[in-house]
Amino acid sequence: MLTPEIRKQNGKKIKRDKIIESASVLFSRKSYHEVMMEDVAKLASIAKGTVYNYFSSKEDLYFSIMKVRMEKLNASLKEIISEQKSVVDSLRAFIIHLYMFMMKYQNFFMMYRKESFSTSYILCDELIELEKNLKEILKEIIRYGKKESVFRDIDDEFGVDLVLGSIYGSVHRGIVKELNEDQKITEREKTYDYVLHGLFSGFQFNNDLPLKNKTIVVTRSVETARESAEIFVQLGAEVITFPTLDIVPPDNWDQFDDFILGKNKISFIIFTSAYAVKMFSKRLNELNFRINYTKIIVVAVGNKTASVCEEYGIPINIIPKNFSSEGVVYELIKFRLNKKVIFIPRSAIGREELPNNLAEMGAVIKSIPVYNVAIPSDECIAPYIANLKKSNPDLYIFTSPSTFENFLQILKITDPSNYFEKSVIAAIGPTTKSAIEIKKLTVNIIPEEYTIEGLAKAIVNYYEMNQEKN
């Protein structure tokens, strides 16, 4: 039960927030000198004297709005970026969070941009310092990206101004067009893609195009094969996309529906792929069911999976440093798992290593299919087969055991050793590597970081090392 004192404090906070919101609207539409305290009081439907009970002057009110928002923005950016595993992920987190923050606080954005472009620039020293801190966060990302040879050798200040200009231009466009939530997600992804390609260096190692004259086969799903190919094109390679997977719903939803609607007490949810998040969320919407995540620890394996969770409004508690079943177990071993329900929405052909390891720790495992992995239809895959047969690949990339196994099945390869005899094989992680080696093949490349970006870097290093030997 709330005490009278707490109710009084809550009431003051609500009134203060109302004043700030009303003032934000006015400051965003008019210049600083045109806004009067009487205008703020009128818009907030309170007495002018009440405004002065909270803010001593118009200047105090203005700077309070700007300071609160800037401090919140900087703190949230630092927290989100500290959780990222690569410089590309950090850039993406910065762009998406800044875009969504400004779209949420549109009046603040209009105030901020007005002052940033103003010749008088009335921002006080404290606010100027906060703006410098914001730019420094981005500058550090750019510096690290240049150091890692991921970003081009661009002047730091120039790069920061161009990136922020792109984001702010996109936000302004979104405000003018009054985008809905789905459109905002699309726009922010386009903004990220635009900025990334502006900064992307093509991994400037010993030469500008380290994979020039190399033909690489990229095997993934129909949806992501072209997406994954782009990074290798930037590195100078000729890329052949070869979809080996098609993501479809499970044969039926009975097991999932019974578990979700059965009011089971879930302690942990583990998402092992972006597909699991998408299909899980889609089914929840079909059931018109909402999960309360406040008492659930959510684990996302990989930054891409975590990013999709964010898009669907699923809060993430843990992103394992090692994107594998061992990485998940390492993170969860610190919890008391005995009799705790761990829900793993996953592929119908998902491997049992993770569920078995967690079950051995005493957890109650509910591993339920939310999607199935099928081989693309003959009609879909025919042009890809024709294109592959006309080429002479130097390297094959496999991103999961299924991509490898389906590749053999689609091409009717009965003697893998003979087929891959003159080619280099790259696997995105140890599980995929093991599946390939079962067929008596040698995996030449495996990255330290189990992502497409990590794999690209490992491939470049592999060819550069071999070039030095020769």
- pLDDT for residue 223: 58
Phi and psi at 344, nearest 5°, equal -120, 95
Task: Please compute the mean of the pLDDT values over residues 318-328 and round it to a whole number.
Answer: 83
| pLDDT greater than 90 at residue 41 | no
Residue 288, sorted as left (phi over 0), alpha (psi -120 to 50) or beta, turns out to be left
Class of residue 371 by CB neighbours under 10 A (exposed 0-12, middle 13-18, buried 19+):
buried
Distance CA 367, CA 255 (A): 10
Q: Cα 370–376–380 angle (5° rounding)? A: 135
Distance CA 427, CA 424 (A): 10
- pLDDT for residue 237: 85
- pLDDT for residue 239: 85
Q: Which of 101-110, 129-138, 324-333, 449-458 has the highest mean pLDDT?
A: 129-138
Phi and psi at 83, nearest 5°, equal -90, -5
| pLDDT greater than 50 at residue 61 | yes
Same fold, 87-122+131-199 and 252-373: no
| pLDDT greater than 60 at residue 246 | yes
- pLDDT for residue 226: 56
Q: How confident is the model at residue 11 (pLDDT cuts 50, 70, 90)?
A: low
| pLDDT greater than 50 at residue 82 | yes
User: In sequence order, what are the beta bridge partners of 307?
Assistant: none
Indicate the SS3 state at residue 19: helix
What is the CATH architecture of 87-122+131-199?
A: Orthogonal Bundle (1.10)
Distances (CA, A) of 116 to 111, 119, 161, 242, 324: 9, 8, 12, 48, 45
- pLDDT for residue 411: 95
Least confident segment among 22-26, 278-282, 424-428: 22-26
Indicate the SS3 state at residue 271: strand
pLDDT tens digits along 332-350: 988 989 999 999 998 877 7
What percent of the chain lies above the pLDDT cut of 70? 90
Task: Please compute the mean of the pLDDT values over residues 88-113 and round it to a whole number.
Answer: 86
> Residues 6 or more apart from 308 whose CB is under 8 A from it?
274, 277, 278
**How many helices and strands in the chain, by DSSP H and E?**
20, 9
Distance CA 185, CA 45 (A): 35
Burial profile 111-139: b = 16 or more Cβ within 10 angstroms, e = fewer:
bbbebeeeeeeebeeebeebbebbeebbb
Q: How confident is the model at residue 436 (pLDDT cuts 50, 70, 90)?
A: very high
Distance CA 147, CA 204 (A): 10
- pLDDT for residue 277: 94
| pLDDT greater than 60 at residue 359 | yes
Least confident segment among 109-113, 217-221, 267-271: 109-113
Distance CA 235, CA 207 (A): 10
pLDDT tens digits along 151-172: 877 888 888 988 998 899 999 8
Task: Please compute the mean of the pLDDT values over residues 129-136 and round it to a whole number.
Answer: 90
Distance CA 83, CA 382 (A): 42
| pLDDT greater than 50 at residue 119 | no
Q: What is the CATH number of domain 252-373?
A: 3.40.50.10090
Better-scored residue on pLDDT, 366 or 32: 366
Least confident segment among 59-68, 174-183, 220-229, 269-278: 220-229
Amino acid identity for residue 309 in this structure = C
The pair of three-digit structure tokens given for residue 21, joined into one six-digit string: 């919101």
| pLDDT greater than 60 at residue 121 | no
Angle between helix 303-311 and helix 274-287 axes, rounded to 10 deg: 20
| pLDDT greater than 90 at residue 417 | yes
> Residues 6 or more apart from 202 whose CB is under 8 A from it?
152, 208, 209, 210, 234, 235, 236
- pLDDT for residue 341: 95
Q: How confident is the model at residue 203 (pLDDT cuts 50, 70, 90)?
A: very low
Distance CA 246, CA 324 (A): 22
Phi and psi at 3, nearest 5°, equal -80, 160
- Whole-model pTM above 0.85? no
Long-range CB contact pairs, 363-366, < 8 A, 24+: 363/268, 363/337, 363/338, 363/339, 364/339, 364/340, 366/259, 366/264, 366/266, 366/341, 366/342
The pair of three-digit structure tokens given for residue 174, joined into one six-digit string: 């979104």
Task: Please compute the mean of the pLDDT values over residues 424-432 and round it to a whole number.
Answer: 92
Domain ranges of the chain: 87-122+131-199, 215-245+377-469, 252-373
Q: Are the C-beta atoms of 24 and 108 separated by less than 8 Å?
A: yes
As assigned by CATH, the class of the 215-245+377-469 domain is: alpha beta
3-state helix, strand, coil in the chain (%, to 5): 60, 10, 30
Amino acid identity for residue 4 in this structure = P
Q: Are the C-beta atoms of 256 and 376 separated by less than 8 Å?
A: no
Task: Please compute the mean of the pLDDT values over residues 349-373 and round it to a whole number.
Answer: 88
Q: Measuring CA to CA, which residue among 445, 443, 444 is closest to residue 458?
A: 445
Mean pLDDT of the chain: 84
| pLDDT greater than 50 at residue 244 | yes
Angle between helix 156-177 and helix 125-147 axes, rounded to 10 deg: 110
